[in-house]
Each structure stands twice: as C-alpha cells, then as structure tokens.
Amino acid sequence: MKPIRLMSGFFTVGVWTLASRVLGFVRDAMILALLGTGPLYEAYVVAFRLPNLFRRFFAEGAFNMAFVPMFSKKFETGESPQRFAEDSLSGLASVLIVLTLIAQAAMPWLIFAMASGFSGQEQFALSVDFGRIAFPYILFISLAALFSGILNATGRFAAAAAAPVLLNVTLVSAMAVAHWVGADVARALVWAIPLAGVAQLALVWRASAQAGFPLRPRRPRWTPELARLVRVAIPAALAGGVVQINLLVGQQVASYFDRAVGWLYAADRLYQLPLGVVGIAIGVVLLPDLSRRLAARDDTGGRHALSRAAEVSLALTIPSAVALMVIPLPLVAVLFQRGETTGADSAAIAQAVAIYGLGLPAFVLQKILQPLFFAREDTRSPFRYALVAMAINAVAAIGLAPVLGWLAPAVATTAAGWAMVLLLARGGRQFGDVARFDSRFHGRIWRICLAAGIMGAALWAAANGLTQALETGGLRYLALAGLVGVGIVVYFATAHVIGAVRLSEFRSALRRGG
C-alpha cells in the first residue's frame, strides 16, 4: 500500500483552511461593518445556513462519510473506482436537483422551521427572499464534496482544501464592488453564494480529472454498490441530521432574543478558525488513511496514525481554546467592532466565544474519533451517540434559556460536544488497540495542558497591560498582534522545554510523508 502522507496532508489542508478562515474573517468583518447585527444580517445568517445545513446533512455528513471509505477501498484494490464514482455522481446530482426545486416552493416553511422567532418581523420576508437565492448553492457544493472525496482518497489534498477560499474571495469581491458602486450590498452578497458554489465545483472537477478521474454525468442507474452506499449513508444522514437539529434548536432559541442570532453566528465564526484549521483538516486526511490501512490489515499503522492525529490536533487546539476563554473580548473587538457593530455587540459576542472555547477540544476530538467508525462503514453507532447528544443539547438549550437567556444555546452546544466525545471514546473500545491512543500520546497530553495553562496566565497578564492600546484606533491591531505573539512564543517555548511538543518531529514527519 502506498500510504497517504498523513502529516504533510494535514499541513496542506491546514494551510489552505487557514487561508480560507482568514478570508472568512475579512468577509465577516465586512458584513458586520456594512450591515451591522440587525435584520439584514440576521436574514443573511439564516439564508446562508440553510443550504449549509443540507450540505452537511447530505454531502459532508452522510454521503462523504459513506462514499470516501468505499471509494478508498476500491481505489486500493482496483475494483472499478471510476464507474462507482460516476454512478455516485449521477445519483447524488439527481437527488439534489429535486431537493432544490422542492426547497424553492417550501422556503417560507423552511425559514419558519429555522427561526420561528422571526415570524411577523422584517427578518422573515428577507430570509425567505435570500433563502431562495442562496439555496442552489447546495447543488454545486455537494457535488464539489464528492470530487473532494475522490481527491482526498487518492492523497491529493490541495485542490479540495483550496476550494473554500473561492467562496470567501467571491463574497468579499461582491460586497466590495456593490459598496463601491452604491448597489445593494446585502443582495449582492446573497447572489454571490451560488456563484461561489459554481467556482468551487469547477475547481475540484478539473483537479479530479487531472488526478485520473475525469467523471462525466450519466443516466442514473440503481446498482448493488449504490444500494450498499445508501445503506451505509442513511445512518450517517440521520447522525448528520441530529447535528444539524442541534444547530437548529440553538438558532430557534436565539431567534426569540434581539440580535442573538447574529451574536451567536459571529462567535461561531471565531471558534471555527482553529476547528477548521486543525480538526477538520485532521478529519479529512485521517478518514481515507484509516480506510486504506484497514483494507491492508495494517492495525499497527492505524493506531499510530490515530495517536499522531490526536497529539498534533490537541497540541494546537488546547492553547487555542485557552486563548478563546482568556482573551475573548480583545479578539472580538479588534476583529469585528467597526461600522455598524458596537461595543455592546462585541461584549455579547465575546461571552459566547468563551463558552464555545470550552467546547473546542471536544469538537476537534469528534473529528478524530469518528473516522474509526466510518472507516469500517459503521455509521449506525455514531448515529445512536448523536441522538443522545441531541437530547442533551435540546434539554440544555431550552431548559437554560429562562436562566441564561440567549447564551443557553452556546452552553448546550458545548455540553453536547463533550457528551459526544465520551460516547465515541467508549464505543471505540470495540475496535481493540487500533482505537486506543499509544503511550507517547498519554505521556504528552498532560504536558500540552500545562503549557497551555502557562500561556493562558501570560495572555491574561499581557491583556491587562495592553488594555488602553487594545481600545485605541489603529494601534489596537498592533496590540492584538503582540498579544497573539506573546501567546505563541510562551506556549511553544514552554511546550518544547517540558517535552509537550518537538518541532523537529513535525519537520521529520513532513520529510517522511507522515
């Protein structure tokens, strides 16, 4: 077996994801500055989340979790991967076209299901209008997810990881042009969403052809392999649906509090930076790697891959989580507070950021543990665990709302995230040693936590010393950069001294191929 380059693949995906998330910050900062946190912004949030909700349900959640392991094994053994991929493409496209047409007619009911608190307000009509424009994005981005799965399964990560950059480039460009010519910025932003989907699909379709899989749409046909794919995908779809129901419950609760939908969305965007760069990058690379190792009966290599993925992920995630909890207000104020976004908005968003920060390691660990099940085409167990997490999320979000107000959904999301990790870890025991982290991981994890704690103390002290600079015009950008620099230097220096992180091992892993 030619192994997937785990560490180099992780860094490839991570670097492109970092570029996408940085551009995402530019996008979100522009949106907040130009639209504020009022009705236009909240309508955009709901409209943009709608196709993304279905995308995660169909493509990234259900379809890809079933498709990637099956395609990886066919690619490894040479069992007609091209024909399987084309049949999958045609079947997925047919379902998505029908879904898009139904959604156009049912848009008012979909918006009501997502944010019933908007009913009778300006946001509702805007959300319906924006939703109809944005929804076709699901067709293009879900097909792009299939091509990305092919590229990831063959160890080619760059194009698939670069595709999300196009989304942010397109949205930022549309807003900039609209603002410059005096057009409707909100409408230009929403129309740019499906346009970005077309660009992303074109990129990965071409890259897949260059990788030896020039797929062409064909008349859909039902085959035994597609039947197996559907059998595996349905539990994954249900599990993905549970995760999206968690988001929906939180948004429903937030929609009854003024501006809360926008606040929670902005906080979500901030903690998604480390989650995307670390957790999603590891998950994207780890699933095809584990699938191919299992096909080759390489359990020892699988355990090593799992342990190194967890070690690297947590070495970057835990300090990020500490920073989000210790200095949320400086991060939010400098990144988002301008134009129509006020200091009161920043203070509210920062509270949610700190709560999400507490759950960040859990969200990353889910990305590491789930491939253990998906690589074996076991999507039923994660579905059962997701049901439990859904119940915890719903009870916490609704039950705590009278006490915590609009922050209840953030607390519920964090609690459900940790519950899901515990269930995945317990369920993974059935797979034997391959699902257990090795002694090197256990020896380093406590050192990583210690280094992150020391960094947190340094950040707290530095933030207090830079209070005035962090609130002063252009100087605040330099102050925040200095604050982040302090955190990076203190963490990595401490981690290196106490043996939590060895930078030489990262370089060695990249030279060896992971």
Q: Is residue 215 part of a domain?
A: yes
Q: Is residue 364 part of a domain?
A: yes
Q: How many CA atoms lie within 13 A of 237 on its CB side?
A: 12
Q: Is residue 1 part of a domain?
A: no
pLDDT beneath 50, residues of the chain: 1-4, 510, 512-514
Q: Is residue 151 part of a domain?
A: yes
With contact defined as beta carbons under 8 Å apart, do 233 and 142 qualify?
Answer: no
pLDDT score at 512:
46
Phi, psi of 233 (to 5 degrees): -75, -30
Q: Is residue 431 part of a domain?
A: yes
Number of independent structural domains in the chain:
1
Burial 348-359 (b: 16+ CB within 10 A, else e): bbbbbbbbbbbb
Tokens of 445: 């994890």
> Whose CA is closest to 35, among 348, 267, 340, 337?
340
pLDDT score at 217:
76
Q: Is residue 117 part of a domain?
A: yes
Q: Which domain holds residue 297?
A: 6-512
- Strand, helix or coil at 377? coil
pLDDT score at 408:
93
Instruction: Tell me the C-alpha distance between 215 and 227, whole Å.
Output: 20
Q: Is residue 235 part of a domain?
A: yes
List, for residues 260-296, the tens digit of each pLDDT value.
888 888 888 788 777 766 666 665 566 566 666 666 6
pLDDT score at 199:
93
Q: Is residue 37 part of a domain?
A: yes
**Helices and strands: H and E segment counts in the chain:** 20, 0
